[in-house]
Amino acid sequence: MQRIDIDGVPVFAAEGSGRTTAVLVFGVGLRDETFAITEVTHLVEHLAMSALPRTHLRCDAVTDVDTTTFSATGRPEAVGAFLEGICRALGDLPTERMDLEVGVLQAEGCARGYSTLGALWAARFGLAGPGLVGADGPGPEYLTEETVRGHARRWFVRGNAALWCSGPLPAGLRLPLPPGPRPVRVVPPARPQTGPVWTAGHGGVGLLLTCGGAGDPALRVGVDVLERRLRDAARHARGLSYAVDSRALELSADRREVAVVVDARQGCEGAVAGLLWQAYAQLCEQGPTEAELAHAVAGFAEELDDERAVAESELADAAYCAVSGLPFRPVGEVLAGWRTTTAERVAAALRDTWATAILSVPGDAGYDGPGDPVQWRPACGVHTSLPAGETFRPSPLARLFDRQRRVALVVGDRELASRDADGDVHRIPWELVEAALPTADGRAALVVGRERCGVFVDEERFGRRAVAAVRARVPADRWLLRPAAREGALVPAT
Ligand SMILES: [Zn+2]
- Measure 420 CA to ligand 1 centroid, in angstroms: 10
C-alpha closest to that of 78 among 50, 52, 44, 45: 52
327 and 447 assigned to the same domain: no
Backbone phi and psi for residue 265, each to the nearest 5 degrees, phi listed first: -65, 145
372 and 395 assigned to the same domain: no
Residues, beta carbon < 5 Å, ion ligand 1: 380, 426, 453
- Measure 446 CA to ligand 1 centroid, in angstroms: 13
Domain membership flag for residue 117: yes
Question: Looking at 110-124, 171-185, 352-366, 436-450, which range is the least confident one?
Answer: 110-124
Predicted pLDDT at 488: 42
pLDDT at 62 over 50: yes
Domain membership flag for residue 111: yes
The answer to whether residues 175 and 83 touch, using CB atoms and an 8 Å cutoff, is yes
Per-residue pLDDT reduced to its tens digit, 302-329: 999 888 889 999 999 999 999 999 999 9
Query: Residue 460 — pLDDT band, cuts 50, 70, 90?
Result: very high
Domain membership flag for residue 181: no
329 and 389 assigned to the same domain: no
Domain membership flag for residue 186: no
- Measure 296 CA to ligand 1 centroid, in angstroms: 42
The answer to whether residues 449 and 434 touch, using CB atoms and an 8 Å cutoff, is yes
Say how many C-beta atoms besides its own lie within 10 A of residue 77's C-beta.
14
Which residue did the predictor score with more confidence, 67 or 266? 67
**Strands 161-166 and 9-14, bridge-based pairing:** parallel
Query: Residue 233 — pLDDT band, cuts 50, 70, 90?
Result: confident
d(CA 37, CA 71) in angstroms, rounded, equals 25
pLDDT at 494 over 50: no
- Measure 451 CA to ligand 1 centroid, in angstroms: 7
Task: Indicate which CATH number applies to the domain containing 432.
Answer: 2.30.29
CB contact set of 27 (below 8 Å; sequence gap of 6+): 66, 67, 155, 160, 161, 182, 185, 323, 324, 325
d(CA 116, CA 393) in angstroms, rounded, equals 38
- Measure 125 CA to ligand 1 centroid, in angstroms: 14
- Measure 226 CA to ligand 1 centroid, in angstroms: 33
130 and 255 assigned to the same domain: no
Cα three-residue angle 315-319-320, rounded to 5 degrees: 115
Task: Indicate which CATH number applies to the domain containing 364.
Answer: 3.30.830.10
Mean pLDDT across 376-392: 92
- Measure 364 CA to ligand 1 centroid, in angstroms: 19
State the residue range of the domain holding 387.
382-485
365 and 441 assigned to the same domain: no
372 and 237 assigned to the same domain: yes
- Measure 453 CA to ligand 1 centroid, in angstroms: 3
290 and 315 assigned to the same domain: yes
Domain membership flag for residue 180: no
pLDDT at 3 over 70: yes
- Measure 401 CA to ligand 1 centroid, in angstroms: 26
Predicted pLDDT at 485: 52
12 and 44 assigned to the same domain: yes
Domain membership flag for residue 490: no
Domain membership flag for residue 174: no
Predicted pLDDT at 489: 40
159 and 206 assigned to the same domain: no
344 and 449 assigned to the same domain: no
- Measure 405 CA to ligand 1 centroid, in angstroms: 18
Query: Residue 492 — pLDDT band, cuts 50, 70, 90?
Result: very low
Q: Looking at 357, 376, 395, which one is the last position of a domain?
A: 376
Per-residue pLDDT reduced to its tens digit, 15-42: 887 899 999 999 999 999 999 999 999 9
208 and 144 assigned to the same domain: no
d(CA 277, CA 448) in angstroms, rounded, equals 32
- Measure 332 CA to ligand 1 centroid, in angstroms: 47
Question: Looking at 49-63, 73-87, 246-260, which range is the least confident one?
Answer: 49-63
- Measure 426 CA to ligand 1 centroid, in angstroms: 4
Q: Looking at 148, 166, 184, which one is the last position of a domain?
A: 166
Backbone phi and psi for residue 249, each to the nearest 5 degrees, phi listed first: -110, 115
21 and 156 assigned to the same domain: yes
- Measure 63 CA to ligand 1 centroid, in angstroms: 29
CB contact set of 46 (below 8 Å; sequence gap of 6+): 61, 101, 104, 105
CB contact set of 331 (below 8 Å; sequence gap of 6+): 304, 310, 313, 314, 317
d(CA 123, CA 271) in angstroms, rounded, equals 21
pLDDT at 417 over 90: yes
Per-residue pLDDT reduced to its tens digit, 339-374: 999 999 999 999 999 999 999 999 888 899 999 999
Do you know the residue count of the chain?
494
Domain membership flag for residue 202: yes
- Measure 318 CA to ligand 1 centroid, in angstroms: 41
- Measure 66 CA to ligand 1 centroid, in angstroms: 27
Cα three-residue angle 267-273-275, rounded to 5 degrees: 110
If one counts the domains in the chain, the total is: 3
- Measure 425 CA to ligand 1 centroid, in angstroms: 7
CB contact set of 463 (below 8 Å; sequence gap of 6+): 392
In the sheet where 375-376 sits, what is the strand order?
243-252, 255-263, 205-211, 358-362, 197-201, 375-376
